[in-house]
Structure 1
Amino acid sequence: MGAYKQMSGDTELKRLVFPERILSSLLSIHLHPISQSQDATKFCFTGANPMSPDCIKISGANEDTVESEIVNPTSELEALVKTELPQLNEALTCYLRSNLSTKGNLNLVQSLENITDFKVNFTKASGEETKYLDLSGCRCKPSHRVCTVTGGQVIQFFGQVSTVTDRCMYSLLEPVDSSGFILLAAFEDRRSLIMTFLDRLDLVLPSSNNTISLETSGRVRVNGQIQTVGTQATEVHGVLLSSNEAGVTLEILNTAISVVNVSIFFDGSSAYITVPDGAPLQGLCGNANDPAYLPTVTAASQSKLGCNKMPRKGNLLVNSTAGIERCSLLKSDAFGACHRKVPVEPHILSCNNTLSSYPMVDNLQCQFFEAYAQVCKQQYHRLGRLEVFAADNQTYCQNHTCNANEFCGESGLRKTSCLCRAIFAAEYKLKNTLGDPPTCQDGSASISLIGCLLEENDIDHSMLHLRDETCKGERDSETHLVTFNYNSSNTCGTEIQGNESFVVFKNRIGIDKPLNNSIITRSNFQFDFTCVYRQPDLKTLTFQVKSGSVTRQVVSQAQNYTLLMQAYVDSARTQLLEPGTELELNQQVWIQLTTDGLDANAVKMVTQSCWVTKDSSPNDTLRYDLIIDGCPNLQDGTVEIDGNGLGKDNYFLFRMFQFLNSTNFYLHCNVTLCAKPQCAPVSCKDMLYILITGMRETIHSVFFCLVQAGLRQGSQQKT
């Protein structure tokens, strides 16, 4: 309903026009009884809140005020009023006419919106001059509707509030009767395991198969590729894009995409979607033409798999009382200019829903204030002192790009950083680690620390190094992983240790000493990591002499290297024993043991013992030794060993035999890994002299066999 005041008299001021007030529902405006006294007349109009009407008080008016009534307008009067008040855009259904005459001055005191410094003086009446005033609150329907998405809260066109509780994508807005566009909002977790926040907007244009994405950093992508956007609007696939320090604006003005104009503003924290009142659009933002519309909260098909799976328990300690008290400041006089224009209750509710379960960090102490002020600014550009709350300066985290597992927030030192999302970081925090185990291969190692975990712990990655302080980490610009490497050419201070079960490579990531001769530090970081190689298990070869085939078995360790044992029939070790190969008794066979995946400069392999058994069990009581303590069994006389303990492989040879009454036997070998330089090549020289002195009755035959074996190995033996 329209209500307009018609006055007679001269005024020194221009015509006054009050901005329209947005109401949360369509309510009729009722004229209160005119209150008159000896020196004043008051007119009041009720809106959404009858306890807080819009009033004009005219001081100086008295019993000489002769006429005041509500009148139905004629078409001529409606045209005249709209000429005088061009901001009116709906039909004029009625108006208030008040004919005032007075012998003195009239003072018009405005109490609307609680703006205390508004005062107008009317001079002594002279003649019949009509003045028109637009009383805010008389027109119930606004020209535009705004949907606000802030945090995980959606304030719909008519003030209803929805909460998004998972990490899915939802349709905020799309046409009711067409498929011109779909505006999607992606929500992600931040510090909390159970709460999500707006993370990205995607405008999908199905007809052209294009997607325009607005990210929290202010970056714009078109079909995944970065799009440069400036202050001047640029048309991209029929959509206008522009950006400034406050955020990114996207406008749909193309009727082929939408039958009505749609404006989207995203400041990286909150999104504001403005559409004409009554627009045939709907989604999680509601329906701009139906205040009773209840959107269906269903994840969009573009959502990632498993997005609806969230942990059940929270992980944060929150002062709920402080958060709710903070939200109540939205009722303060600082926002008084907005209270009758934009209902504040939905914004208080969305603020409470967040800060009652989430700490006031990462600009949240201001975000809901800025959102409320921005809604006012979207619709009413002249807000006087309220504009100080609107996000006109550079928005929080703008131009600060984080990866998919991170969000932009405040570190412990109140520095804007990329911090880990709670669900991603939960596994690492449970294990009290800053990264995954090292990758170990062939004497080299690589380990990566997660950048956002370092940020959370206020650790400067550029200050980190291995034991050798010249070995610094490298930070990946996209993943933000900080990676350290060493190899056999540059061990970076790696320590190598070994025992009967393992060979262990040890290193450590530490932090530089404070610069500038500082006597204090707040970082005491030390991260030890190891590469462990398990000593190889027993290896077995099965031989079948004459009457069967010869089979070789290759068994890989469940570690980062492989141990092979292979049998050959030639000294060059090129002809493998294949199934079906026939062997003669006393025929020479070469057995080669090889490791794959070890660095020969750092680790050696030693064949400690080899023996044969009649049955497959290595613990069979019927056993014949070929190698004992790394040396040939002197009692056999056919065994020769080469390269034992010198590198990552070695071999030995012996002559075929068989157990009595059996054509089968099984060969078993025990090998160990030895960390350089802790082990030396196996030498059988000392064993030779011990055996000579202990077996004098067979000295010649034993000595002869050993000398022959020693000569074939290229060593010199003395009697």
Structure 2
Amino acid sequence: MTIDRDAIAFTVKLESDGNKGTLKMESMMSSATLTLYTGENVVLKTVEYAGNNAVTEDLTGCRHDGGVLMPQQKTCTEGLKYKVCSAEGNLEDGDCSGQGGVCRIDPSSKVTQCMQARRCALVGPMVVDFTGAKGRVPDLCSYTLLTTPSFSFKAELRDRLRTDVGFLHRLNLTLTDQEETTVYTIGPGLQVQKDDSPVELGAQAEDGAPSFALNGASWMLIKVPFKGDSVLAAYDGNAVVSFSAFEEAEATSSPFEGLCKDVSKVEEERDDENSPESCEEVQEQPEDESIDCPARTKLCDDLLSEDVVSGCSGLSNYRSAFKDACVELQCKYPEDNLCSFIGGLSNLCDAQTGGASQESARCAGHGCGSALCRDSEFCQASRCRCRAHVLKAFNDRDTVCEEQKASVSVPLCLLTEKSLDEEDLHLNEDGDTCKGTLDEATESLVFSFDHEAKCGTEVKVGEDRIEYHNQVQFDSSSGSGVVSRKSSFSLGFSCFYSQPALKTISFKTKGAEGLQAAIKGSWPYEVKVGMFSDKQLTKPIDFSKGVRRNKMIYISMETDGLDGALLLMKADDCYATDQEGTGGLKHPLISGGCGNSQDSTIKVFPAKNNKGTVMRIKMFQFKGKKNVFLKCKMKLCVASSPGCQPDCDSADSGNRKRRRSVETHMIDEDDAGYFVLRL
């Protein structure tokens, strides 16, 4: 062909023989550039001409798929395979399986070549590393999954339906350069934060910064720039993260470290600095005998079939590791996690092909995507459920009984599972003071009652305790309308005062009072016993000098920690004896809360503020005996109940007129429940 441009002419001659071709160019110009294009307007070759000499160029090449390959040029066709044009212009088949792994265009050089594929995944507690080996994270700590000199991915694990099986809770990406460190937190609900500030998904990333984009409703794709290429992480915001990276086929060492490189180094890769305290101390649970392991094994085998990785050559060993990990987890854990394994393996395939797998029909609706749960919850099939340790703490709960107040906590996650609102629950009485109070730190509702806000508290009197009982409740049959989609709820809780069970008090011989804690029950209180020479209880007796016979003394038996308006402590039965143990002589002092009507020197009256009993007695001595012991049995009673405060004056009025000499007789009863004073 001859081209005349501005009266300056040059001639181009093309000759071809099969796949071979030759171009000759002559021109009167001192220099010229000729660019040849294919039919698809793709540059085939650029020819530079200088001087008056003719230029000859070799245009040998190969036609493929509507385009042209020059000699030694490759193009990827399927996974590990490629087409290459030989020096003679012949199109030949190639395979990367023996040259590193996959056929891929190197983003830095733009050259198609065989590259080493690095693949890794964390599914629940199971890890499949670069070599296809599987392992298990044994606890609920933080672990380094993948790290390089410029970035690292770390996983935080939490419990779900079992306290001894951890699942991915949060993914932390840290970028490090010479000037600063940047931390990205990717948490439940596919929420991303950069140094505690929200990150917009899909936004254009700055140079050198990672990008975050949604892939459908259930997956997030994270691209981290690395050596002119990118490391790709796929995260479902719930339980699975998979990593894909590529290196030159000739690379002799890898820049990657972490569990993805070697899953056997679990101890070395635990991140103690960022792990919760005692996270390695797992609360083991018994095996779940309801799990049909053979049936679940067959499911793992059937669903993790070759179809999942069809078109992804080189993933067969990963599929086998995924299947083994699936069986190990499915035979231990009650929740069906098959879709997590399918999703994790599919994403490794997608990273290789650049495509997007279709969601398995079985897994439709199983993802959580942007579903956001509380810290005490986890997501399962777009529903928020209580974590195992929260339910265990609730089932092992104790009512908090302190300062005459009873409290119990109900986890908010339990309300979510039962489709209840915070306002639905109340105590026996439904009022503002009988509703729960939100405790944000523990993510729970706290219900309580005391002597002022009783909220319908019931009092039950038993032989060994007085119990105050209430319950957190919701009746699904209440309210307007004829239908209800909420569950009924009833949680009883109580606090009690134990009846005193004192055995012996060693009375202080120098000092004002003897003090002994009387209670082992839920609400603590104390009994104070003192001896005084005056009714006002202001003059303690000094026993170091002894006490004369016929001296009137006042014995105070009071309580500290009881509300006198509700409960009274009374001396129910007291007597004097000549022996510290059982047996011996006995002289009755108090019976049924009243003084011995046959001994006019004995008087019983309430202590100040109704906090106990004061007994007046004139000192005496058993004939022929050296020691006198006072034994008393105390009793709690409800102040408003009949008989709690006996009318001793009325009972004594007739008896004292017929006063007779005091009789002493042998003891023939057990002393259990009495306290003993040596006089």
TM-score w.r.t. structure 2 length? 0.68
Conserved? CA contact 2:339–2:366, under 8 Å: no
Q: CA deviation at 1:203?
A: 5.0
Q: CA deviation at 1:285?
A: 0.7
Q: CA deviation at 1:281?
A: 2.2
Look up the SS of the partner of 1:634 in the other structure. coil
Of 527-536 and 640-649, deviating more is 640-649
Letter in 1 for 2:399: P
Task: Indicate the percent of aligned positions where both proteins have the same amino acid.
Answer: 20
Partner of 1:418: 385
Look up the SS of the partner of 1:141 in the other structure. strand
Partner of 1:525: 489
Q: Which residue among 654, 677, 683 is the counterpart of 2:647? A: 683
Partner of 2:568: 604
1:75-102 Cα distance to aligned partner (Å, 9 max, x none): xxxxxxxxxx98686798xxxxxxxxxx
Structure 1 residues 692 and 583, CA, compared in 2 at 3 Å: closer, same or farther?
closer
Look up the SS of the partner of 1:465 in the other structure. coil
Counterpart check, 1:328 vs 2:301: no
* Structure 1: segments with no counterpart, 5+ residues: 34-40, 55-84, 93-133, 287-292, 699-719
Conserved? CA contact 2:422–2:436, under 8 Å: yes
The whole-number CA distance in structure 1 between the counterparts of 2:219 and 2:106 is 28
Q: CA RMSD in A?
A: 5.0
Letter in 1 for 2:265: T
Structure 1 residues 219 and 662, CA, compared in 2 at 3 Å: closer, same or farther?
farther
Q: Which residue among 96, 115, 119 is the counterpart of 1:141? A: 115
1:243-269 Cα distance to aligned partner (Å, 9 max, x none): 768677777769xxx999766564423
Structure 1 residues 449 and 375, CA, compared in 2 at 3 Å: closer, same or farther?
same
Partner of 1:445: 406
Counterpart check, 1:152 vs 2:115: no
Counterpart check, 1:479 vs 2:451: no
Look up the SS of the partner of 2:330 in the other structure. coil
Partner of 1:167: 140
The whole-number CA distance in structure 2 between the counterparts of 1:326 and 1:420 is 30
Counterpart check, 1:229 vs 2:202: no
Structure 1 residues 209 and 552, CA, compared in 2 at 3 Å: closer, same or farther?
farther
Partner of 1:131: none
Q: Which residue among 625, 634, 642 is the counterpart of 2:588? A: 625
More strand by share: 2
Counterpart check, 1:284 vs 2:259: yes
The whole-number CA distance in structure 1 between the counterparts of 2:191 and 2:599 is 78
Partner of 2:59: none
Partner of 1:358: 330
Q: Which residue among 505, 514, 517 is the counterpart of 1:552? A: 514
1:266-325 Cα distance to aligned partner (Å, 9 max, x none): 442322445552542212111xxxxxx775232525155362646374325254056325
Structure 1 residues 166 and 686, CA, compared in 2 at 3 Å: closer, same or farther?
same
Conserved? CA contact 2:578–2:628, under 8 Å: yes
1:560-617 Cα distance to aligned partner (Å, 9 max, x none): 2222222234443344446636544444433222223333332222221222222323
Conserved? CA contact 2:406–2:449, under 8 Å: yes
Partner of 1:396: 368
Letter in 2 for 1:281: F
Q: CA deviation at 1:226?
A: 4.4
Letter in 2 for 1:228: P
Look up the SS of the partner of 2:597 in the other structure. coil
Letter in 1 for 2:125: G
Partner of 1:317: 291
The whole-number CA distance in structure 1 between the counterparts of 2:652 and 2:259 is 89
Counterpart check, 1:497 vs 2:463: no
Q: CA deviation at 1:505?
A: 1.5
Conserved? CA contact 1:614–1:622, under 8 Å: yes
Conserved? CA contact 1:604–1:648, under 8 Å: yes
Look up the SS of the partner of 1:188 in the other structure. strand
The whole-number CA distance in structure 2 between the counterparts of 1:181 and 1:10 is 42
Structure 1 residues 386 and 536, CA, compared in 2 at 3 Å: closer, same or farther?
closer
Number of positions where the alignment pairs a residue of Structure 1 with one of Structure 2:
570
Structure 1 residues 260 and 564, CA, compared in 2 at 3 Å: closer, same or farther?
farther
Q: Which residue among 302, 307, 311 is the counterpart of 2:280? A: 307
Partner of 1:122: none
Look up the SS of the partner of 1:370 in the other structure. helix
The whole-number CA distance in structure 1 between the counterparts of 2:660 and 2:126 is 98
Q: CA deviation at 1:554?
A: 1.9
1:52-111 Cα distance to aligned partner (Å, 9 max, x none): x99xxxxxxxxxxxxxxxxxxxxxxxxxxxxxx98686798xxxxxxxxxxxxxxxxxxx
Of 351-360 and 508-517, deviating more is 351-360
Conserved? CA contact 2:135–2:263, under 8 Å: no
Letter in 2 for 1:636: D
Letter in 2 for 1:437: D
The whole-number CA distance in structure 2 between the counterparts of 1:584 and 1:210 is 85
Structure 1 residues 402 and 467, CA, compared in 2 at 3 Å: closer, same or farther?
same
Letter in 2 for 1:324: C
Partner of 1:408: 378
The whole-number CA distance in structure 1 between the counterparts of 2:219 and 2:538 is 71
The whole-number CA distance in structure 2 between the counterparts of 1:440 and 1:294 is 48
Partner of 2:451: 488
The whole-number CA distance in structure 1 between the counterparts of 2:512 and 2:608 is 28
Structure 1 residues 350 and 568, CA, compared in 2 at 3 Å: closer, same or farther?
farther
Structure 1 residues 311 and 424, CA, compared in 2 at 3 Å: closer, same or farther?
farther
Show the 5 A alignment for 1:61-72.
Answer: none
Show the 5 A alignment for 1:23-34.
Answer: none
Q: CA deviation at 1:489?
A: 1.1
Conserved? CA contact 2:301–2:323, under 8 Å: no
Structure 1 residues 250 and 658, CA, compared in 2 at 3 Å: closer, same or farther?
farther
Q: Which residue among 578, 595, 612 is the counterpart of 2:559? A: 595
The whole-number CA distance in structure 2 between the counterparts of 1:6 and 1:588 is 132
* Structure 2: segments with no counterpart, 5+ residues: 1-17, 22-35, 43-65, 68-73, 662-679
Partner of 2:430: 469
Conserved? CA contact 1:247–1:266, under 8 Å: yes
Q: CA deviation at 1:485?
A: 0.8
Q: Which residue among 346, 353, 367 is the counterpart of 2:318? A: 346
Look up the SS of the partner of 2:299 in the other structure. helix
Structure 1 residues 87 and 211, CA, compared in 2 at 3 Å: closer, same or farther?
closer
The whole-number CA distance in structure 2 between the counterparts of 1:544 and 1:153 is 66
The whole-number CA distance in structure 2 between the counterparts of 1:271 and 1:200 is 10
Letter in 1 for 2:307: K
Of 209-218 and 437-446, deviating more is 209-218
The whole-number CA distance in structure 1 between the counterparts of 2:618 and 2:154 is 77
Conserved? CA contact 1:568–1:591, under 8 Å: yes
Structure 1 residues 320 and 248, CA, compared in 2 at 3 Å: closer, same or farther?
closer
Partner of 2:597: 634
Q: CA deviation at 1:536?
A: 0.9
